[in-house]
């Protein structure tokens, strides 16, 4: 069992259900974006007694679907700003819930969202948890990176 894996599963299922009215279920299928594909990563940093990052990686199509539901638009009418806002909000909700499980005091950053060709990375950290989810046949993942202890800042 990975660090706070059951809580991640519970929170993601709840957030997807309550915010998007979609069913997200843990899957053994790994989210493996391919080089050159357009993918989005939304992340929030946690700073304080515990330092690390909670990130949500998904294919662009899934982020478009989330944005269309959140903003009440057709998928083809969603703009990139809305897509990024939607993913940022999902990352913020996920990270905000997980922050409550971590040592206090901690602060949560605003979410940042990057459109990436799978070249996104959080240096100076180790991946401590990665959980994959299936939502209507689309796979996405939630990752927790913890700052490495030998970092000097």
Q: Which residues bind other proteins (CB under 8 A)?
A: 41, 43, 45, 47-48, 51-53, 81, 84-85, 88, 107, 109-110, 112-117, 119-125, 145, 147, 153
Q: What is the DSSP letter of 79?
A: -
**Burial classification of residue 65, based on how many CB atoms lie within 10 Å of its CB (0-12 exposed, 13-18 middle, 19 or more buried):** buried
Q: Output the smallest distance, CB 6 to other proteins, in A.
A: 25
Measured from the CB atom, the residue of 42 and 135 that comes closer to other proteins is: 42
Q: How far apart are CA 71 and CA 47, in angstroms?
A: 30
Q: Which two tokens stand for residue 93?
A: 């909700």
Tell me how far, at minimum, the Cβ of 12 lies from other proteins, in Å.
Answer: 21
Measured from the CB atom, the residue of 11 and 88 that comes closer to other proteins is: 88
**Whole-angstrom Cα distance, residue 100 to residue 146?**
16
In terms of CB distance, is 97 or 120 closer to other proteins? Answer: 120
- β-strands 112-116, 106-108 pairing: unpaired
- The Cα–Cα gap between 27 and 75 comes to 25
CB of 9 to other proteins, least distance (A): 24
User: Which lies closer to other proteins via its Cβ, residue 103 or residue 136?
Assistant: 103
Least distance between other proteins and beta carbon 13 (Å):
26
Contact predicate 42/88, CB 8 Å = yes
Distance in Å, CB of 2 to other proteins, minimum: 19
Largest distance between two CA atoms of the chain: 48
Q: Which of 22, 115 has the CB closer to other proteins?
A: 115
């Amino acid at each position: 069992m990975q660090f706070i894996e059951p809580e991640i599963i519970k929170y993601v299922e709840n957030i997807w259900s309550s915010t998007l009215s979609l069913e997200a279920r843990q899957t053994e299928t790994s989210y493996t974006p391919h080089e050159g594909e357009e993918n989005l990563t939304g992340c929030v940093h946690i700073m304080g007694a515990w330092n690390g990052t909670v990130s949500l990686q998904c294919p662009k199509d899934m982020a478009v679907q989330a944005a269309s539901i959140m903003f009440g638009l057709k998928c083809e009418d969603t703009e990139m700003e809305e897509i990024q806002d939607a993913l940022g909000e999902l990352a913020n909700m996920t990270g905000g819930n997980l922050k409550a499980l971590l040592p206090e005091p901690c602060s949560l950053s605003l979410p940042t969202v990057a459109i990436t060709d799978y070249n996104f990375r959080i240096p100076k950290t180790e991946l401590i948890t990665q959980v994959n989810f299936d939502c209507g046949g689309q796979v996405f993942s939630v990752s927790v990176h913890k700052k490495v202890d030998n970092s000097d800042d």
